[in-house]
């Protein structure tokens, strides 16, 4: 018996556990779809790696996910999206559609803003890439302006775990100050870690400010893509979800549960080409 | 220098840490107000106690909070609301207004439902009290019908901490099954613990179902009450918040941080009349 294509899983990959906030939104808003998440924890973090390396990683991960029947591939990682999305789409054309971050959030933000002033909180690398500036300019036809804040400490602080404390408050205050000064009415959280401190961000920005996350934007985009391709699973179906990690499955599970906020039953292991956990950027060239 | 009445704190009390999910919503949506939370952890739980005892507790806690300048008192506890709200309001009339649970959620649910079928998940005691049936009938002028599910295990499971696992999933499935069968389009979470598993509840109920929490309902009610009495703090102000516990402050802090999802800096201790931690119901009569 073959499984109908519409009941195959949507695949989501990321450099680690951060993309689980994206999976979270997909699981809450698309409970009838199956999902398969792959965290490339053996090669985390991606932020320091050159673009050609990220493209080869993305192709390798997509192959693993396609072998397991993915009907759609989601790149839940800012670095991989910025470095490799157009090339990845081109290489997978005709096999599977690819959804990335940045453009979906920018479209949501462009639709949400009333005063045309949109804030962005992201890692220094993401801000420096200018990807959100371009995407928002395109999504708003030049009508919205982006006020970007590079928050170097926030993602590591969240990754480290521990409770939301005064250090987190200070970090969030520093990030939100310039956005309040710029009178933005919409803020994009340009890093998948940030939804874990969303209540603190909302309190600090004020409730009049609309927060846009990658998770919400991607869940909506996945739904639209699937519907457009006739690949949506039947609405009365109960979806399942599973996990793969290229690093230690138990470590993935331990870290991931905080990000997913839903049960993580089992995590499988997949072997990737370069398992060195902290291979420095450009090491081959050195 | 006297503090203007509008800048005095809103007081919130509960039998323990569950009401911190109510405070959470208040802090996120009313960031300009000060809040003072009192957890009567020395006498937790309230569910098993007789009504006259709960009224005396509520009066004692309200006195403590009024001494500290409360401009409004919120009862964030189902048991205390069911047992004592009308009497408490009467006894405090002219001194301070009192906001309780049940009625605010019922009003939100009555406004949200389109098909007139509203679900309730609550503890057996809350379901048995019939308080939500009466409140929903009143709020909807008899147009909405309540489908109540008593979930005995869910609040203790959440209180115990630990991760959201298959046991939690099974418990949520059992609670949601009858509500899906009844085709409700709105579900009241009738226990302040439940927002901690809201993503799982939403995924299980399906995204077409609107979830109503005490926190959201009370935050809206507090805002309305304060505005109606000219007691709202200036919107450009940065609010602060503090904590009191009748039991061990460190234990309150350790348990509470999961419920509040915002920093808990210090917790003060207050002495209450009956500090026995697990005084059985009706012990005096026995």
Task: State residue A114 phi and psi, 5-degree precision.
Answer: -105, -35
What ipTM was estimated for this complex?
0.90
Cα B49 off chain centre by: 17
Tell me, yes or no, whether A65 lies in a domain.
yes
Nearest residue on chain A to B24, judged by CA atoms?
A199
**Do residues B124 and B221 both lie within one domain?**
no
Min Cα–Cα distance to chain A from B126, Å: 27
Residue A246 lies in a domain: yes
Residues B200 and B221 placed together within one structural domain of the fold: no
Q: How far is A153 from chain B (nearest CA, A)?
A: 18
What pLDDT, on the 0 to 100 scale, is given for residue B274?
Answer: 67
Q: Which residues of chain A have a Cβ shorter than 8 Å from any chain B Cβ?
A: 24, 27-31, 163-166, 168-169, 199-200, 202-204, 206-207, 257, 261-263, 265
Rounded Cα gap, residues B177 and A193, in angstroms: 33
Residue B83 in this model has a pLDDT that exceeds 90:
no
Whether A227 and A92 map to the same domain: the answer is yes
Distance of CA B237 to the CA centre of its chain: 25
Tell me how far the alpha carbon of residue B184 is from its chain's centroid.
23
Residue B15 within a domain? yes
In a domain, A276, yes or no: no
CATH of the domain at A22: 3.40.50.1860
Q: How distant is the alpha carbon of residue A51 from its chain centre?
A: 17
- Report residue A26 as tokens: 């997909």
- pLDDT at position A285, please? 31
- Structure tokens given for B238: 């940065």
B164–A257 CB contact, under 8 Å: yes
A229 — pLDDT class (breaks 50, 70, 90) = very high
Q: Write down the pLDDT at residue A275.
A: 45
Residues near B117 by beta carbon (within 8 Å), at least 6 away in sequence: B144, B145, B147, B182, B183, B184, B185, B186
pLDDT for the residue numbered B282: 41
Both B58 and B71 in a single domain? yes
The neighbouring-strand residues paired with B74 are B12, B99
Range of the domain at A236: 5-101+217-269
**Contacts B163 to A, Cβ<8 Å:** 257, 263
Provide the domain count of chain B.
2
CB contact under 8 A, A262 and B24: no
Q: Residue B264 carries which DSSP code?
A: -
Domain annotation covers residue B251: yes
Sequence-distant (≥ 6) Cβ neighbours of residue A123 within 8 angstroms: A47, A78, A150, A151, A152, A155, A190, A191
Reduced to 3 states (helix: H, G, I; strand: E, B; else coil), residue A17 is: coil
Q: pLDDT, tens digit, for every residue of A178-209? A: 999 999 999 999 999 999 999 999 999 999 99
Across A160-169, A207-216, B61-70, B184-193, least confident range: A160-169
Q: pLDDT digit string (tens) for B193-232?
A: 999 999 999 999 999 999 999 999 999 999 999 999 999 9
Q: What is d(CA B116, CA B140) in angstroms, rounded to the nearest whole number?
A: 9
Contact A10, A69 (CB under 8 A): no
Report CB contact under 8 Å: B203, A262. yes
Angstrom CA distances, B256 to B38, B77, B116, stand at 12, 15, 36
Per DSSP, what are the bridge partners of residue B122?
Answer: B150
Same domain, A205 and A221: no
pLDDT digits (tens, 9 = 90+) for A123-180: 998 999 899 999 999 999 999 999 999 999 999 999 998 888 899 999 999 999 999 9
Comparing CB atoms, the residue among A31, A166, A204 nearest residue B203 is: A31
Tokens 């673009």 belong to A51
The residue out of B151, B184, B214 marking a domain boundary is B214
3-state secondary structure of A16: coil
Polymer length of chain A: 286
Q: Do A169 and B207 lie within an 8 Å CB cutoff?
A: no
Of B179, B214, B249, the residue that ends a domain is: B214
Please list the alpha-helical segments (H only) found in A75-164: 78-92, 103-112, 124-129, 131-139, 154-159
Measured between CB atoms, which of A165, A206, A261 is closest to B31?
Answer: A206
Q: Write down the pLDDT at residue A82.
A: 86
In a domain, A274, yes or no: no
Does residue B201 lie in a domain region? yes
* Reported confidence tier of residue B162, pLDDT bands at 50, 70, 90: confident
Q: Given the residues B26, B77, B171, B176, select the one marked as catalytic.
A: B77
In a domain, B43, yes or no: yes
* C-alpha to C-alpha distance for A267 and B279, rounded to whole angstroms: 45
- Do B34 and B109 share a domain, yes or no? no
On whether both A36 and A132 belong to a single domain, the answer is no
Calpha distance B204→A238 (Å, rounded): 9
For B280, the token pair is 């059985």
A204 and A109 co-located in one domain: yes
Q: A30 with A162, same domain? A: no
Where a domain ends, among B172, B197, B214? B214
Residues B90 and B124 in one domain: no
- How do residues A30-80 score in pLDDT, each as one tens digit? 999 999 999 999 999 888 888 899 999 999 999 999 999 999 999 999 889
Q: Using CA atoms, how far apart are residues B188 and B170, in angstroms rounded to an integer?
A: 19
pLDDT at A220: 97
pLDDT band at B102 (very low <50, low <70, confident <90, very high): very high
Is the domain of A117 the same as that of A145? yes
CB atoms within 10 A of CB B93: 10
Yes or no: say if A136 and A110 are a contact pair by the CB < 8 Å rule.
Answer: yes
Under an 8 A CB cutoff, do B262 and A207 touch? no
Q: Is the pLDDT of residue B283 over 80?
A: no
**For residue A258, what is the enclosing H or E element?**
helix A249-260
Q: What pLDDT does residue B82 have?
A: 86
Q: Are residues A31 and A108 in the same domain?
A: no
CB distance A18 to A42 below 8 Å: no
Average pLDDT over residues B55-82: 95
Angle CA(A10)–CA(A11)–CA(A14) in degrees, nearest 5? Answer: 145
């Amino acid at each position: 018996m073959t499984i109908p294509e519409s009941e195959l899983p949507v695949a989501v990959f990321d450099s680690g556990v951060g993309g689980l906030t994206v999976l979270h939104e997909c699981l809450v808003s698309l409970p009838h779809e199956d999902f398969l998440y792959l965290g490339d924890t053996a090669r985390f973090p991606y932020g320091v790696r050159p673009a050609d390396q990220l493209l080869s990683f993305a192709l390798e991960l997509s192959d693993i996910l396609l072998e397991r029947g993915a009907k759609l591939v989601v790149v839940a990682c800012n670095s991989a999206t910025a470095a490799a999305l157009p090339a990845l789409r081109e290489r997978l054309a005709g096999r599977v559609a690819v959804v990335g971050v940045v453009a979906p959030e920018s479209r949501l933000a462009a639709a949400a803003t009333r005063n045309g002033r949109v804030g962005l909180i992201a890692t220094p690398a993401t801000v420096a890439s200018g990807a959100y500036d371009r995407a928002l300019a395109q999504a708003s036809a030049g009508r919205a302006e982006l006020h970007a804040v590079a928050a170097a400490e926030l993602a590591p602080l969240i990754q480290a775990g521990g409770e939301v404390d005064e250090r987190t408050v200070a970090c969030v205050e520093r990030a939100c100050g310039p956005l309040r000064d710029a009178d933005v009415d919409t803020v994009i959280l340009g890093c998948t870690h940030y939804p874990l401190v969303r209540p603190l961000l909302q309190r600090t920005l004020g409730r009049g400010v609309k927060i846009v996350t990658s998770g919400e934007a991607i869940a909506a985009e996945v739904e639209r893509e699937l519907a457009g391709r006739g690949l949506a699973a039947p609405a009365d179906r109960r979806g399942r979800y599973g996990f793969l990690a290229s690093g230690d499955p138990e470590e993935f599970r331990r870290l991931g549960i905080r990000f997913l906020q839903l049960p993580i039953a089992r995590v499988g292991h997949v072997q990737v080409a370069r398992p060195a956990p902290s291979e420095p950027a450009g090491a081959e060239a050195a």
